Chains A and B, each alone.
Chain A
C-alpha cells in the first residue's frame, strides 16, 4: 500500500513537471506583452521595462524558465499580474464555487445513476427500463452550452422559477444560493448522469453474465435479491472510477457553465487570465488543477483497495 502511494507521488511530481514546463513555453509564445496589457498604451518605455523586470520577463527564455522553476521549487507561485494578489490566494478565492458545482454535481449524479440503473436492473420486463441505455446515450449527446441556454429559456425566462444567472456562497444566503445553483447543477447532472449510467449499465450487464449467479439461482435465491445483493455491489467499481475521473475533470472543465451562469469559479478565472495574459495566474491555476486531477485519481485507487479485496491482495 505504501509503495503504491509513493509510486503515485513520484508520478505526481513527473506530471507537474511536464505540465508546468509545457505550459511555461506555450504561454511565453503568446503574442502580446503582459506589461503592455497591464500598463495600457500610455506607458513610457522605462515603466514597461521596470514592470517586465519585476515580472521576470527579461533575459533569454531559458533563464526565465530556470528562474520560474526555482521559484516554484521554493513554493513561490508568483503574483497575479492583473489583480496584484498572490496566485495561491487567487485560487483559494475562486475554488469554492467550482468545488461546490463539482462536488454537488458528482454526488447528485452518482446517486441518480445508482437509483436509475438499480431500478432498471430489478425490473427487466418494464419497457421503460429497456430504454435507460439509449436515453443515457442521448443525454450524453446534448451539448452543455446549448442545454444550459434551453434550461435558461424554459425555467428562468418563461416559467420564472430560477434566476438566469449569478452566484451566492452557499452558507451566506442558502435560499438564493440554491435557486442560483439549480440550473447550472441540473445541466451538469444531465451530462454526468448520462455518462455514469452508461458505465454502470455496462458493468451490470457484464456482471449478469457471471457464472456464480447461476449457482445462486440454483440455490433458490430470488432474482431481486441476486441483483441487489450480488450484481449491484460487484458492478460498482467502474462507476466509482468514472465518477472520480469526472469529478477531477469538472474542476477544470466547468468553464462553459461558469461563463453562461456568470459563476466566479476557477474556469472563469482562467478564462479571464488568458485574455489578460496573466502568465503567473494561468500557470498556477492549471498546475493546481493538474495536482487535483492526480490526487483524485490516487484517492480513487485507494478507495478501490478498500472496497475490493482482490485489489488489496495484489
Chain B
C-alpha cells in the first residue's frame, strides 16, 4: 500500500508541475483572479462599514490607516473598494452566466434546426446592429437604473456573440455520424441536442464565458460610471471612479485605484481566456505553437 502511494504521489505532482510549466500564463492568471476574488470576498468581513460616514475625516489622502484615503463623506475608500469588488465581480459573473446560457441555447437551436436557424441568425444580426451602450441606456430609463436593468441590457448585448460562436460549432457537429445515428435510431431532436450536441459545445462555451466576462466587466464599469448601473450608496468600481471624478485634480487616487483594479481583472480574464482557447480551438493551438517557435 505505502509503495503505491510513494510511487503515485511524485508522478501526479510531476504531472501538475509540467502542466503548470506548459501553461504558465493560464496558471498565473487564474491564480491571481482567484486571489483577488478571495480578497474582496473576505476583506469586508474585517474592514469597517463601507457606508459609515465620518465628517471628521473627509477627503484624506492614502495613509496607513486608510490605504486608499477617504471620500467626501469621510467613508474609508479601501472598505468601499473591497465591497465594490464583491458587487462588480458578482455582477460580472451573473451577466456572464445569463448571456452565455441564453447564447448557447440560441446557438444550439439556430445551428441544429437549419430553417429556423436562418431566421434566427437574421434577427441576431439585426440585434448586433443595435448600439450597445444606447440599448443599456434605454433599459436603464425604462426600468430605472439598477441591477435588473443592467443585467437585462448587458445580457442582451452579449448574447448574440455567444450565439454565433456556438452556432458555427453546432453546424460542424450536426454532420457527424454519431449525431445522424442518434437521429436515425429514433432519438428526438431535443434529446439529441441535449445528449450529443450540447456536451460537445461545452468546452467552447466555457472559453466563451471567460472571454465574455472580460467584456462584461468593462461594460458594467462604463454603465456604473454613467450612473446607469447599480447606484450609490452601494459601491461598484465603476461608480467609485465616477465619484472620484469631481476630485480628480487634488485626489487622483480616488479614480486611480478602482479603475486600475478593473483593468487588472479584465487583463487577467483575457489572458486566461486566450490560454484556454488553445484547448478547444486547433487554430489557437497552432498560433500558440507558432508564437513559441519565434
Contact = CB atoms under 8 A, between A and B. Distances in A.
B202 interface: no
B141 interface: yes
A99 B264 CA distance: 31
A145 B131 contact: no
Contact of A143 (B134, B263, B291): B263
B248 A142 contact: no
A294 B129 contact: yes
B125 interface: yes
Q: Identify whether the interface residues of B are mostly helix, strand, loop, or mixed.
A: helix
A29 B149 CA distance: 13
A252 B133 contact: yes
B126 interface: yes
A148 B106 CA distance: 36
Contact of A15 (B125, B244, B249): B125
Nearest to B132: A253
Interface residues of B, number: 50
A296 to B, nearest CB: 10
Interface string A1-31: 0000000000100110011000100110111
B283 interface: yes
Contacts of A150: 252, 255-256, 259
B263 A142 contact: yes
B221 A143 contact: yes
B137 to A, nearest CB: 5
A188 interface: no
Given A146-B255, A267-B133, A289-B131, A18 B263 contact: no
Interface in A199-247: 202, 205-206, 208-209
Interface in A263-285: 267, 270-271, 274-275, 282, 285
B267 A138 contact: yes
A209 B242 CA distance: 46
A96 interface: no
Contacts of B131: 249, 251-253, 270, 286, 289-290
A29 B152 CA distance: 15
B134 A270 contact: yes
Contacts of A27: 138
A251 B271 CA distance: 29
Contacts of B102: none
A15 B141 contact: no
Interface residues of A, number: 54
Contacts of B242: 145
B231 interface: no
A141 B125 contact: no
Contact of A26 (B142, B248, B270, B290): B142
A61 interface: no
Contact of A30 (B133, B142, B245): B142
Contacts of A251: 131
Interface in B100-142: 122-123, 125-127, 129-134, 137-138, 141-142
A140 interface: yes
Contact of A149 (B125, B141, B259): B259
Contact of B263 (A30, A130, A141, A255): A141
Given A133-B291, A293-B129, A144 B222 contact: yes
Contacts of A140: 266-267, 270
Nearest to A285: B134
Contacts of A206: 283, 286-287, 290
A124 interface: yes
B225 interface: yes
A176 interface: no
A31 B144 CA distance: 9
B240 to A, nearest CB: 10
Contact of A256 (B130, B226, B265, B270): B226
Contacts of A141: 214, 218, 262-267, 269-270
A157 interface: yes
A152 interface: yes
A168 interface: no
A119 to B, nearest CB: 14
A133 B275 CA distance: 13
Contacts of A289: 129, 131, 134
Interface string B218-253: 100110011000000000001001101100110010
Interface of B: 122-123, 125-127, 129-134, 137-138, 141-142, 214, 218, 221-222, 225-226, 238, 241-242, 244-245, 248-249, 252, 255-256, 258-260, 262-267, 269-271, 274, 283, 286-287, 290-291, 294
22 contacts: A15-B125, A23-B138, A27-B138, A140-B266, A141-B263, A143-B225, A143-B238, A143-B263, A144-B222, A145-B221, A145-B226, A145-B241, A146-B260, A149-B248, A150-B256, A150-B259, A153-B248, A157-B249, A249-B132, A253-B132, A255-B133, A294-B129
Given A143-B222, A145-B259, 8 more contacts: A15-B126, A141-B269, A145-B222, A202-B287, A206-B287, A255-B226, A282-B138, A286-B130
What are the 6 closest A-B residue pairs judged by CB atoms, nearest first? A252-B131, A146-B259, A141-B267, A141-B266, A18-B126, A15-B126
